[in-house]
Amino acid sequence: MDTQAQLLVVLVAGAWPFFVGSLARGAAGAGLHPVVLLPGYACSQLDARLTDEFEPASTAPSCGGGALKGKKGWFRLWKNHKALQEDPALVPCYAELLRLVYDPVAGDYHNVPGVETRVVSFGTTRGFGSDDPATKNTCMEKLVQALEGVGYREGENLFGAPYDFRYAPAPPGEASREFSCFLSSLRLLIEQASQRNGNMSVILVTHSLGGLNANVFLNRSPLAWRRRYVKHFVMVSTGAGGGVFLLRFGGSPSPTDPLSFANTIRSFATAFSALPSPKVFGHAPLVITRAKNYSAYDIPEYLKANGFSDDEVARYVTRVLHVTLNFSAPAVPMTCINGIGVLTAEKLVYWDGDFGANPHVINGDGDGGINIESTLALDSLIGADPEQDDFKSLLIHNTSHVGTISDDLALERLVNEVLEANRAI
């Protein structure tokens, strides 16, 4: 060995600890498959901007002047707990700005005229969550920390796909512009995440409504694309057929929550997205009255009895139900994680048929929202599908709908699934 080579060896040996140190700091997660997160309902923050076309409804006088006057640029519409705390008169106004309108000519939903909206920080997880201490850790905040704990880094191999939770997928042939835009953005995000990580395929991790959206996304992506870009799909707290508690439309609106205020939530395309699926709940009576029982098959009639218009009921049938019934195997390796062992509404009793009153709730098993029937149906609707060759369903006892992404033990198991997916060939 000549002296030059010896010098090189010494230099390299001397540099080694430094090199390892910088690896640990800089590219700690090098070698990990990139993760893309889709959060649950109401977890994506939305900004809004008003145009000259905007005319405040008479029901939202606070939108006329006051705090909104002079709001020229983008401002945080959802979730803006702080602004609503400081000025409760803004609640009816923000409820109005969040409302969706269905345009029968375009056959699609859009914002109230004069309101523009956008999700915050697409591509990152920074637009998840809220400034409301009461809902801290319900939107993957702790999952992000846990993934960072095993080497994931925001913008390097950890990405977020926030979406406007008011919009829903529609079946082929029906317009759903906002949702289609989201699918395109998600496709691009996954491709870029892969490219930034040496063309490694991506692990999708979703919570609740995010899982329904990801399922539609995967089923509408060509199989070759899925095989190339999706390493694993970890679907957390999403059943195969919704939950009974969502049949509860009555109750008094919260004066502090713009989503429930003046039934804003009823105007969303997602209002019916997770209603019980006939495929899962069959003919079992889910709502009981003296005169009549309603099963999942009777939902159109039930919606009518709850004051929804003929048009709204028709949209449930033509738009939502098709998507619900089409819930099927994504044909990529998949792990479902769900909580069980928590009291979950199984039947709602409105004995006198007054759906505005509080029902007597008969509880069964589930995660507090999603019924165990819906969770177990994942085995038959996805696991048993011959196209689905890698499927695992993890049931975590005593764990709620949100506990799956916030309880320490549940999080540990979730992160373990991500690491295991990384090790799979």
The residues annotated with a catalytic role in the active site are 208, 367, 401
Is 171 a residue that touches ligand NAG (CB under 6 A)?
yes
Q: Are strands 293-294 and 334-340 parallel, antiparallel or unpaired?
A: unpaired
Nearer to ligand NAG, 133 or 222 (CB): 222
User: What minimum distance in Å lies between the beta carbon of 204 and ligand NAG?
Assistant: 17
Q: Give dist(CA 226, CA 191) in Å, integer.
A: 11
Compute how many other C-beta atoms are within 10 angstroms of the C-beta atom of residue 106.
10
Q: Is 363 in the site for ligand NAG (CB under 6 A)?
A: no
Contact status: 398 vs ligand NAG (CB under 6 A):
yes
Q: State yes or no: residue 219 binds ligand NAG (CB under 6 A).
A: yes
The span of 19-27, 296-304, 306-314, 320-328 binding ligand NAG (CB under 6 A) equals 320-328
326 binds ligand NAG (CB under 6 A): yes
CB of 320 to ligand NAG, least distance (A): 11
206 or 289: CB nearest ligand NAG: 289
State which of residues 22, 85, 145, 199 lies at the interface with ligand NAG (CB under 6 A).
199
Of 111 and 400, which has the nearer Cβ to ligand NAG?
A: 400
Q: In whole angstroms, how close is the CB of 293 to ligand NAG at the nearest point?
A: 4
Q: Does residue 320 bind ligand NAG (CB under 6 A)? A: no
Closest CA to 300 of 275, 317, 319: 317
CB of 263 or CB of 388, closer to ligand NAG? 388
Region near ligand NAG per CB under 6 A, out of 39-47, 202-210, 287-295, 350-358: 287-295
Stretch that binds ligand NAG, among 61-69, 243-251, 264-272, 288-296 (CB under 6 A): 288-296
* Separation between Cα atoms, residue 152 and residue 213, nearest integer Å: 24
- Residue 397 sits in the site that holds ligand NAG (CB under 6 A): yes
**Beta-carbon neighbour count of residue 385 at 10 Å?**
14
Closest separation in Å from C-beta 397 to ligand NAG: 4
In angstroms, the CA 51 to CA 413 distance is 47
Is 282 within 8 Å of 119 (Cβ atoms)? no
From the list 110-118, 149-157, 321-329, 380-388, the region that binds ligand NAG by CB under 6 A is 321-329
- Min separation Cβ 169 and ligand NAG, Å: 8
Q: Is residue 293 close enough to count as binding ligand NAG by CB under 6 A?
A: yes
* Shortest separation between residue 337's beta carbon and ligand NAG, angstroms: 16
Q: Does 388 bind ligand NAG (CB under 6 A)?
A: no
Q: Counting contacts by CB under 6 A, is residue 227 touching ligand NAG?
A: no
Asked if 59 touches ligand NAG (CB under 6 A), the answer is: no
Q: Among the candidate windows 27-35, 179-187, 319-327, 378-386, which touches ligand NAG by CB under 6 A? A: 319-327
Between 240 and 323, name the residue whose CB sits nearer to ligand NAG.
323
Residue 199 or 380 having the CB closest to ligand NAG:
199
Residues found in the chain:
425
- For ligand NAG, the binding residues (CB under 6 A) are 171-172, 198-199, 219, 285, 288, 292-293, 322-323, 326, 328, 341, 397-398
